[in-house]
């Protein structure tokens, strides 16, 4: 269908958990594919063997810079996509691959991994390990509205995506961001969101403030990006009811 | 209606019709009654509330503790807990003027606790956290749709635990164990003892103990709750209630029909919305000035502004 946007999915050094999160939209994914998105390239699900020219590319995983093919694929993804979305903690921030240091069979020299934003310009971040099905869905719907919607829908999509675009300014994540960017900045108000968002329970709340077990932290970026004092857009969040309804209606 | 009170469908002065419950309540017993009703009707199957040391000791499986043990939990330190019965709700009633990280339990409520329809009570910033998590779920997979009733409470500012300790034990010269109720109202910080004694502190004394993160907050009456409630605007023993969202409207209408609350038109009560509006304006104006000052806090260097 001509009205659909085209989507590619580049799989680098990731675990396919982001793919599963996308699939975990269940019927919502089928509606997305029915009405809004034409999947042009996705090695896990389709037979196209080379990166295609698309409107939006999701990229899962970080880049092993010792692997020529991986470096070539991320560059090609950028060249062939209007919008590049880093999907999940690895693509955004390196995540667990930050801890890679080579020395394993049978590519002991595969030791250096970088989040994709260190090699190409990235437009949107969807952090999280795993990212949530709902966030992926919301971004997909908003990308559609941005490219195919009315003026009003484009404005909504821009407002919605802006915080996720701003996240791309930094390619490093850790529990420490809660210290350096929130507590140290006098912004923490002890709501506990970070502790709930952490996938490895590395955060507890001590007397109402985050305490990080940094040797547990896998550097996914969920805590900081979910924190209501990292980014908070009144224009968008105050309309949560209408926006949620619009997204749900789009997926009917 | 100005922006300072947020969007709402209706506003009334209300109190619970349950006289027994009112004995435990901070004001009109709105949060406790609403959740008790919602539990009974199956609107929610559990609620995240701020419980106490005693509750945590009796129900260790209903709280998610930090690294401290029960003996380390002090009186008047709130512990986020998941409650499923009216009796448990009553045990958590009453305002604790220090930080209760209720959102910390929000994901676990849908996991180990197995809740499908969650009630959550919280301050305005916690309502903001809940709505952000619904729109931008980054670490909150499958949580957004499970939030069945979010009740916001008015909040001017909050205190770290050590601040309350210092205010009550040093300034008011009372042991925390012997305190029955604390209240901020009529320009004073009130401490009521179990033996009937009352100490009041001027708010001026409390300012330096406020949580710094509260000074950038631009929400007084929990603009993002489904329903929000607080003492300001209504007479003693009553609460001011804003009904805001479609969910809030539906639950409130059902609770009213079931006789859970008695209400008075807000226009008929003193001091009414005028005072709520005034205090909301004062909070927002003061904190906007703080945000403005952060822009030029250093020499050519700003502090971070979260609001984009």
Q: Which of residues 156-175 of A touch B (CB under 8 A)?
A: 160, 162-164, 166
Handedness of CA B250, B252, B256, B260 (dihedral sign): positive
**Angle in degrees, 0-180, between the axes of helices A240-250 and A133-148, rounded to the nearest 10:** 80
- Closest chain B residue to A235, measured at CA: B308
Contact between B142 and A132 using a beta-carbon 8 Å cutoff: yes
**CA of A49 to nearest chain B CA: how many angstroms apart?**
31
pLDDT of residue B2: 62
Q: Is B149 near chain A, with CB under 8 Å?
A: no
- Closest chain B residue to A198, measured at CA: B139
**Which residues of chain B make contact with A134, given a CB cutoff of 8 A?**
137, 141-142, 144
CATH of B159-209, one of 3.40.50.150, 3.40.50.12710, 3.40.50.300, 3.10.450.750: 3.10.450.750
**CA of A132 to nearest chain B CA: how many angstroms apart?**
5
Q: Which of residues 202-231 of B touch A (CB under 8 A)?
A: 211-218, 223-224
Contact between B7 and A238 using a beta-carbon 8 Å cutoff: yes
DSSP B117: S
pLDDT in single tens digits along all 308 residues of chain B: 468 999 999 999 999 999 999 998 999 999 999 999 999 999 999 999 999 888 888 888 898 765 555 667 789 999 999 999 999 999 888 889 999 999 999 999 999 999 999 999 999 999 999 999 999 999 999 999 999 999 999 999 999 999 999 999 999 999 999 999 999 988 999 999 999 999 999 999 999 999 999 999 999 999 999 999 999 999 999 999 999 999 999 999 999 999 999 999 999 999 999 999 999 999 999 999 999 999 999 999 999 999 98
Residues of chain A with pLDDT under 70: 1-2
A244 → closest Cβ in B134, B211, B306: B134
pLDDT of residue B70: 60
Q: What residues does each domain of chain B span?
A: 3-158+214-295, 159-209
The Cα–Cα gap between B182 and B57 comes to 22
pLDDT of residue B65: 63
B138 → closest Cβ in A127, A208, A236: A127
Q: Is A92 near chain B, with CB under 8 Å?
A: no
**CA of A133 to nearest chain B CA: how many angstroms apart?**
7
Q: Is the ipTM of this complex over 0.95?
A: yes
Q: Is A233 near chain B, with CB under 8 Å?
A: yes
The DSSP string of B271-305 is SHHHHHHHHHHHHHHHHHHHHHHHHTSSSS-----
Contact between A189 and B125 using a beta-carbon 8 Å cutoff: yes
pLDDT of residue B1: 42
Contact between A135 and B131 using a beta-carbon 8 Å cutoff: no
Contact between A206 and B68 using a beta-carbon 8 Å cutoff: yes
Round the CA-based radius of gyration of chain A to a whole number and report it: 18
User: In 3D, which of B117, B108, B107 has the Cα closest to residue B45?
Assistant: B117
């Amino acid at each position: 269908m001509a009205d659909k946007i085209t989507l590619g999915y580049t799989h680098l050094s990731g675990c396919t958990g982001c793919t599963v999160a996308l699939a975990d939209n269940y019927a919502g994914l089928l509606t997305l594919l029915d009405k809004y998105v034409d999947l042009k390239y996705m090695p896990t699900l389709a037979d196209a063997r080379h990166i295609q020219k698309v409107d939006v590319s999701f990229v899962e995983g970080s880049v092993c810079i010792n692997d020529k093919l991986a470096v070539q694929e991320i560059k090609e993804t950028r060249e062939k996509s209007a919008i590049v979305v880093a999907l999940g903690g690895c693509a955004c921030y390196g995540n667990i691959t930050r801890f890679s240091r080579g020395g394993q069979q049978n590519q002991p020299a595969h030791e250096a991994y970088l989040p994709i934003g260190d090699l190409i310009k990235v437009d949107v971040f969807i952090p999280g390990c795993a990212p949530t099905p709902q966030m992926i869905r919301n971004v997909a719907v908003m990308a559609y509205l941005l490219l195919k919607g009315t003026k009003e829908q484009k404005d909504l999509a821009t407002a919605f995506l802006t915080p996720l675009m701003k996240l791309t300014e930094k390619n490093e994540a850790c529990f420490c961001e809660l210290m350096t960017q929130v507590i140290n900045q006098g912004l923490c108000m002890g709501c506990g969101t970070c502790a709930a968002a952490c996938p490895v329970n590395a955060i507890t709340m001590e007397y109402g403030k985050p305490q990080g077990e940094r040797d547990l932290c896998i550097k996914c970026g969920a805590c900081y990006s979910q924190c209501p004092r990292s980014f908070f857009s009144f224009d968008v969040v105050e309309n949560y009811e209408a926006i949620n309804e619009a997204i749900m209606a789009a997926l009917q | 209606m100005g922006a300072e009170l947020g969007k709402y469908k209706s506003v009334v002065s209300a109190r619970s019709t349950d006289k027994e419950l009112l004995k435990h309540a901070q004001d009109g017993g709105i949060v406790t009654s609403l959740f008790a009703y919602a539990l009974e009707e199956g609107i929610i199957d559990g609620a995240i509330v701020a419980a106490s040391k005693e509750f945590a000791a009796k129900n260790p499986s209903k709280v998610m503790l930090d690294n401290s043990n029960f003996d380390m939990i002090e009186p008047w330190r709130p512990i986020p807990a998941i409650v499923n019965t009216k009796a448990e709700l009553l045990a958590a009633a009453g305002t604790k003027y220090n930080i209760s990280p209720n959102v910390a339990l929000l994901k676990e409520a849908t996991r180990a606790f197995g809740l499908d329809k969650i009630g959550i009570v919280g301050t305005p910033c916690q309502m903001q956290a809940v709505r952000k998590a619904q729109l931008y779920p980054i670490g909150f997979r499958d949580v957004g749709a499970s939030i069945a009733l979010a009740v916001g409470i008015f909040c001017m500012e909050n205190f770290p635990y050590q601040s309350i300790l210092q205010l009550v034990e040093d300034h008011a010269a009372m042991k925390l164990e012997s305190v029955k109720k604390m209240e901020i109202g009529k320009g004073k910080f009130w401490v009521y003892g179990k033996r009937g004694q009352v100490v009041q502190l001027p708010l001026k004394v409390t300012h330096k103990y406020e949580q710094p993160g509260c000074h950038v907050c631009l929400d007084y009456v929990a603009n993002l709750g489904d329903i929000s409630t607080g003492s300001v605007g209504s007479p003693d023993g009553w609460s001011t209630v804003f009904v805001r969202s479609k969910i809030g409207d539906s639950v409130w209408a059902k609770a009213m029909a079931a006789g859970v609350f008695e209400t008075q038109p807000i226009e008929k009560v003193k001091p009414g919305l005028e005072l709520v509006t005034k205090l909301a304006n004062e909070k927002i104006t003061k904190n906007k000035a703080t945000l403005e000052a952060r822009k030029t806090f250093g020499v050519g260097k700003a502090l971070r502004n979260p609001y984009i």
